[in-house]
Amino acid sequence: MPQDRHWPDNGPGGAVRLESHFGGRPLRCFSERPPHLDALFRASLARFPAAEAIVAGETRLSYAALDRLVGHMAGNLAARGVGQGERVALLLGNCPEFLVALLACARLGAVAMPIGTRQKAAEIDYLLNDSGAAALIFAAEFAANVPVPAAVPALKRRIVVGEAIAGAEPIAALLAPVPPPPAVEIAEEDTAIILYTSGTTGKPKGAMLSHLNIVHSVIHFARCLGLGAADRALLAVPAAHVTGTVAILLTMVYCGGATVMLGEFKARGFLALAAAERITYTLMVPAMYALCLMDADFDRFDLGAWRIGGFGGAPMPEATIAALAERLPRLKLANAYGATETTSPTTIMPPGATASHPASVGQVVPCGEVRIVDEQGRALPPGRPGEIWIRGPMVVKGYWNRPDADAASFTDGFWHSGDIGALDAKGFLGVLDRVKDMINRGGYKIFSAEVENALAHHPGVVECAVVGRPDPVLGERVCAFVLPRGEAVTAEDIRRFCAERMADYKVPERVELVREPLPRNANGKVQKALLRALAARA
């Protein structure tokens, strides 16, 4: 069954053709594509040298100005012994230096390794040692979490952005004019970026994003969302996350558009910046949209330029979709489902189709393949739920130095997502749950997202999460954590509301009303493992 029927037959990337990559994987690939990230950047530089590339506070960089900084940093890194294939760790927030460093590594053929700014010292120690990073570029505000030299013997260079830190060179030294670095041959299957997964089932694994992976992902975003040089994206998620790096920064570089950087997400600051900079495109987690809608002055901000609102990481409550359609009728919402291992998008909702497919995460991207399989890895027909397996030129070749994880996570080039979903007859994918988050109540399988979506329609619910609570008789019972709006909402109200809308076995038997926002990780996802532990103790 064709899975790209909703996408244009032409546009960025040209025609799709079958190629072989990563040791024999048969992959659908775009026939017209830059061979690597530096070529991608140089193509936009040639077309739009005077156009804005980055806006961050008072800093505004054109593509020509950005190229000068990239050239200086690449030359200075090379002069300091950083060569092709070596890892350069980036412990930076949403700042221009992040993109400069990313593109400088690409020019050198080095490997950029973004690190989440919420990581602690022990976690950063592990990532630096596991990757064998040769250099670390970090913001001074995170210096307390940078390991001492003895803890990371392979780390030869430390460069600081901001105030002076003992033992680190100032970033100004890397941005000083120098001759360009020697040209290098970069193969499109070479690793460009290593992004470490969250490590929910053990130590984090470094997903190796190749130039081929990233090039296809940014073309997917441009082609499927209709993005171009006139677009202005607002980076409100962490730059170090695959969404920030690929869906925002590098997609805008590919398009020749601008990225406006928001240092830390606060709804009021986001709305003010989006209005002032005439933002056209975002990709955020659903909770961010909900927080914006809750601002009492929402309607006072001129958001008329905002046309594409991408979201992912969690289901968008139907109540939020309806509210955005009423308040911002020009804004087209587009779910984007993917993972670090898929270099961001596996599916994208065709703009304007969200309202008619509220339970779907969209269509499989033009070069992607999705297979729904049972517990034995056998393909299932349309409509049948099973684990989602994903293949395509955007799927990583594997994990850094983890052949055991590669063997467990890939079959015939398909990556095992760990998500449960189903494809309908028209190729729309629905994601029902994580394999580990599905609740089994006495043999009845309950998808937490279904219960959460129903709860999101309750006018007194700000946010919610549903988990399984261990039970000696039934195995698990349904437990809901709810952040209420005001004091009038009770647990019984919540249960009654659900009972009117779903089968009795899906209704939460325990409702925990919380007074603080639900715990989330650095990528904005609710930490269900923590909630399951709390439910088990309740």
pLDDT in tens, 187-214: 999 999 999 986 545 688 999 999 999 9
pLDDT at residue 511 in the model: 96
pLDDT at residue 457 in the model: 86
Distances (CA, A) of 11 to 33, 225, 350, 353: 11, 11, 15, 20
Q: How far apart are CA 13 and CA 142, in angstroms?
A: 39
Provide the pLDDT confidence category of residue 522 given band limits of 50, 70 and 90.
low
- Rounded average pLDDT over 393-409: 95
pLDDT at 495 over 90: yes
Q: pLDDT digits over 201-252, tens only?
A: 568 899 999 999 999 999 999 999 999 999 999 999 999 999 999 999 999 9
From-to residues of CATH 3.40.50.980 in the chain:
61-186
Q: Model-level pTM?
A: 0.88
Q: For strand 281-284 and strand 308-311, is the pairing parallel, antiparallel, or unpaired?
A: parallel
Structure tokens at 119: 């990581």
pLDDT at residue 440 in the model: 84
The position carrying tokens 């969404």 is 243
- Who contacts 209 (Cβ-Cβ below 8 Å, separation ≥6)? 191, 192, 193, 194, 195, 242, 246, 340, 343, 396
Other C-beta atoms closer than 10 Å to the C-beta of 380 total 15
From-to residues of CATH 3.30.300.30 in the chain:
437-537
- Return the CATH fold of 437-537: GMP Synthetase; Chain A, domain 3 (3.30.300)
SS3 state of residue 368? coil
Structure tokens at 47: 């077309």
Give, for 531, the enclosing helix (H) or strand (E): helix 528-537
Burial class of residue 297 (count of CB atoms within 10 Å of its CB; 0-12, 13-18, 19+): exposed
CB 514 within 8 A of CB 481: yes
pLDDT at 2 over 50: no
Among 284, 292, 294, 384, CA closest to 335: 284
Q: pLDDT digits over 129-180, tens only?
A: 999 999 999 999 999 999 999 999 999 999 999 999 999 999 999 999 999 9
pLDDT at 290 over 90: no
CATH assignment, 61-186: 3.40.50.980
